[in-house]
């Protein structure tokens, strides 16, 4: 349950209830993208003098915008990015890892330069394909002489996303919670806050989960011992939905949404 939007823009997550058969978390859950609300922390990009800078990427980078693969260090999801800026109102980022295309993001700037439509397609670590659409709204202009994509932008949310990005399955067995999703991300963690390895997500190496009340679970995602994200999930009394608060500690962005039991 981790949205990408993306390593260039876009990526999301989720007792011991005394070993009874039906935990409130048991089952497959699908995020409702229409319910997503993100904090107003902006994305900042600059296209100027043949160079593209993603100033709020983690980590930030600046590369040539000539369409060729450029090295990017420190990002677990890619090691090169190609920036095609041949159309002033269209920017295409192609992100690769070990020579394999992981994600392609297309930014289409509106004629009035106030909004951006974002289309993304990609392949997860286990080979599962995904796609989706999102949007940006301008909150600040870019530097003088820069391209239309330049400036500060807040996210207006997703209009759609592949099921593989927004679906996860949970199962409680005794004091252990198991999570799997279609992209190959998985863990089996005791619900006492102790660390457990996470598989299939290069950006998360370990996870801890802890019960907070009968229907609430706090998940903490870590990369090499450093907290990168927390996800607080609370199942509704009827067991049909859960409310989620996802806090990314690297981007300082919090996203809330609802997930529905399938």
Q: How far apart are CA 179 and CA 195, in angstroms?
A: 14
Cα Rg of the chain (Å, integer):
19
Q: Assess whether pLDDT exceeds 80 at residue 157.
A: yes
Query: Using CA atoms, how far apart are residues 25 and 239, in angstroms rounded to an integer?
Result: 8
Task: Using the predicted structure, report yes or no on whether residue 96 has a pLDDT greater than 90.
Answer: yes
How far is the C-alpha of 78 from the C-alpha of 95, rounded, in Å? 6
Q: Concatenated DSSP letters for 168-220?
A: EEEEEETTEEEEE-TTS-EEEEETBS--EEEES-TT--EEEEEE-STTEEEEE
Query: What tokens does 169 get?
Result: 């399955």
Convert the pLDDT of each residue in 52-65 to its tens digit.
Answer: 999 999 999 999 99
How far apart CA 74 and CA 240 sit, in angstroms, is 40
pLDDT digits (tens, 9 = 90+) for 113-131: 999 999 999 999 999 999 9
Percent of the chain with pLDDT over 90: 90
- The two three-digit tokens of residue 84, written as one number: 């095609």
The CA angle 56-58-61, to the nearest 5 degrees, is 70
pLDDT at 22: 77
Percent of residues, the chain, with pLDDT higher than 70: 92
pLDDT (0 to 100) of residue 197: 98
| pLDDT at residue 7 is higher than 90 | no
Phi and psi (nearest 5°) for 235? -80, 135
Q: What is the mean pLDDT of residues 128-149?
A: 97
Q: Which two tokens stand for residue 151?
A: 């400036």
Mean pLDDT of 149-176: 96
Q: Is the pLDDT of residue 6 over 50?
A: no
pLDDT score of 17 = 32
Alpha-carbon distance 208 to 197, whole Å? 9
Q: 144: helix, coil or strand?
A: coil
Q: What pLDDT is recorded for position 9?
A: 37
- Between 214 and 244, the more confident residue is 244
Q: What is the pLDDT of residue 238?
A: 96
Q: What is the mean pLDDT of the chain?
A: 92
Residue with tokens 């997550």: 13
- State yes or no: pLDDT of 12 exceeds 50: no
């Amino acid at each position: 349950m981790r949205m990408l939007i993306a390593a260039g823009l876009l990526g999301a997550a989720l007792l011991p209830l005394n070993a009874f058969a039906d935990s409130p978390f048991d089952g497959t859950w699908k995020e409702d993208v229409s319910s997503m609300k993100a904090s107003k922390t902006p994305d900042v990009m600059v296209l100027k003098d043949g160079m593209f800078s993603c100033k709020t990427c983690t980590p930030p980078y600046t590369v040539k915008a000539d369409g060729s693969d450029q090295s990017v260090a420190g990002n677990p999801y890619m090691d090169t990015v190609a920036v095609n800026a041949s159309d002033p109102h269209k920017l295409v980022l192609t992100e690769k890892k070990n020579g394999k295309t992981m994600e392609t993001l297309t930014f289409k700037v509106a004629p009035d330069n106030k909004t951006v439509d974002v289309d993304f397609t990609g392949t997860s670590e286990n080979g599962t394909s995904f796609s989706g659409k999102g949007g940006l709204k301008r909150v600040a202009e870019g530097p003088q002489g820069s391209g239309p994509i330049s400036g500060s932008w807040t996210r207006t949310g997703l209009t759609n996303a592949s099921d593989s990005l927004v679906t996860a399955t949970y199962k409680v067995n005794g004091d252990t919670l198991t999570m799997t999703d279609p992209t190959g991300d998985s863990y089996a963690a005791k619900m006492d806050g102790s660390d457990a390895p996470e598989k299939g997500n290069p950006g998360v190496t370990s996870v801890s989960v802890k019960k907070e009340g009968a229907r609430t679970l706090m998940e903490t995602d870590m990369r090499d011992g450093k907290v990168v994200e927390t996800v607080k999930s609370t199942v509704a009394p009827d067991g049909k939905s859960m409310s989620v608060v996802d806090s990314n500690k690297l981007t300082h962005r919090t996203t809330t949404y609802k997930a529905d039991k399938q």
